[in-house]
Amino acid sequence: MGPNDDTPAKAHTADGGSIRLLGAIAIGIGGMVGGGIFAVLGVAATQAGGATPIAFLIGGVVSLLTAISYSKLSVAYPSAGGTVAFVDRIFGINELTGSLNVVLWAGYVATTALYASAFGHYAATLFVGDATPSPLLLRGLIFLAILGPWLVNLTNAGLVARTEGVIVGIKLVILGVVIAAGIPAVSSEALAPSSWPSPLAVVAAGMLIFVAYEGFELIANASADVVDPHRTLPRAFLISVVTVIVLYVLVSIVVVGSLSPAEIAKTADFALAQAASATLGSSGFILVAVAAVLATLSAINATLYGSAGLSYMIATEGELPDRFERLTWNEPIGLHVTAGAGLAIAVALPLTSISAVASAVFLSVFTVVNLAALRAGRQAGVRRGVAVAGALGCAGSLVVLVVRSATMDPVALVTLFGLLAFALGMEHLILKHRPQRKKPLLGERG
């Protein structure tokens, strides 16, 4: 499929790619079970209490509906561009779609900050245990968390990518050990409905940690290389998301069922390590902390790498200034901007605020992707009811998250609206001075 071919791919053959079902599932699970679960588990537990597993389940259902839309669009429009390609091809290049693509890039910046902050807190435990680290130590570790992957991308961007399968395997094994050891010790009273906050608070917690699910979109980026995409892609999206939902629910049961509310509040930034210590002792604490350090470093590296390609692609579509198409130190400028902005956010905002901003960004983007699937309709094999449910689920979740931030975390809300205003303003200025490209109709070749 060429870069200007916008015809739904009806005849992508079984021998046209190199990624099979297990490989596609691994991409999805690896994208979701990155640094996110280590970063947001404590955030969810402090907000939802005993209903934390329900919060993760709610976020998972919204993700699953969106993943179905992604699977249909990935089959119809296989492209390394993923989300950007879907939005631009179906809605055309204009201020709104350009702004959305820039907002997606902002999501990469926010997740970089989230992973760096999580790295800082987990790495700090290797020095001070469960004591509160000094601000200097924490900021120094956050700086190293971004500096290291940034240098890797400058010298050998594929270094961590080649070991990603091993790192994902280590994470899954360690999480499996924590679950197996923790489930028998779970207190049923800690999970009882009497320990639940209001239903709205539970939903808000599920949306606050939604960023832990967003990685399934990486399957779409590999869609052009998938063997037998009509069968493989829908199954890969479904299996990977459902598997991660089950994993997250079980892990959250262990954390909430093993730690008291006071312990969760005290150790929210490294709650999973603290929960492991409850059943596995100090060795479990260290094991999870090391896994979190590896996971977050790997996630930062992958996010920086992806953001460099994303910003370059957006620039080639005419939705960023020309300078973003140029290379600095043999890498797109977007790599350096993402690293710098991610570092600033990680140092300036608390983990909960960063999680709220990142989740809100992806809920915004996924709302539009579901609407794109709805517009593509039958030509892309989309069931309109599912696309509508996905769009309403994401949009409604975004509203809940915004209301929650307005009352409990205004810093996150101001940051989010600042990003949106910046994206809209930038696109207006850029596209105002460029001729708008003709929007290709569905079913036509551009």
pLDDT of residue 334: 85
Q: Specify burial of residue 205 (Cβ count, 10 A radius: 0-12, 13-18, 19+).
A: buried
Intervals of the chain under pLDDT 70: 1-17, 156-165, 426-446
Rounded CA-CA distance 27/33 in Å is 10
Residue 440 in any domain: the answer is no
pLDDT of residue 223: 83
Residue 6 in any domain: the answer is no
DSSP-derived letter for residue 281 is: H
Residue 376 in any domain: the answer is yes
Question: How does DSSP assign 333-380, residue by residue?
Answer: HHHHHHHHHHHHHHHHS-HHHHHHHHHHHHHHHHHHHHHHHHHHGGGG
Residue pair 200/397 in contact by the 8 Å Cβ criterion: no
Residue 34 in any domain: the answer is yes
Residue 13 in any domain: the answer is no
Question: How does DSSP assign 188-221, residue by residue?
Answer: HHHHSGGG---HHHHHHHHHHTGGGTGGGGHHHH
**Of 440, 337, 425, 436, residue with least CA distance to 379:** 440
pLDDT digit string, tens, across residues 125-167:
999 988 889 999 999 999 999 999 898 888 865 555 566 667 7
pLDDT of residue 86: 83
The span from the first CA to the last CA of the chain, in angstroms, equals 12
pLDDT of residue 1: 34
Its domain, for residue 54, covers 21-432
pLDDT of residue 440: 41
pLDDT of residue 443: 35
Distance of CA 435 to the CA centre of its chain: 33
Residue for token pair 């996630």: 299
Task: Name residue 328's beta-bridge partners.
Answer: 331
| Stated pTM of the model | 0.85
Rounded CA-CA distance 85/1 in Å is 12
Residue 123 in any domain: the answer is yes
Please give the C-alpha separations between residue 32 and each of 26, 60, 111, 299, in angstroms, as whole numbers.
10, 11, 12, 10
Give the pair of three-digit tokens for residue 334: 């977007």
Rounded CA-CA distance 394/391 in Å is 5
Residue 4 in any domain: the answer is no
Residue pair 208/110 in contact by the 8 Å Cβ criterion: no
- Structural domain tally of the chain? 1
pLDDT of residue 422: 76
Residue 441 in any domain: the answer is no
DSSP-derived letter for residue 323 is: G
CATH assignment of the domain containing 106: 1.20.1740.10
Distance of CA 12 to the CA centre of its chain: 28
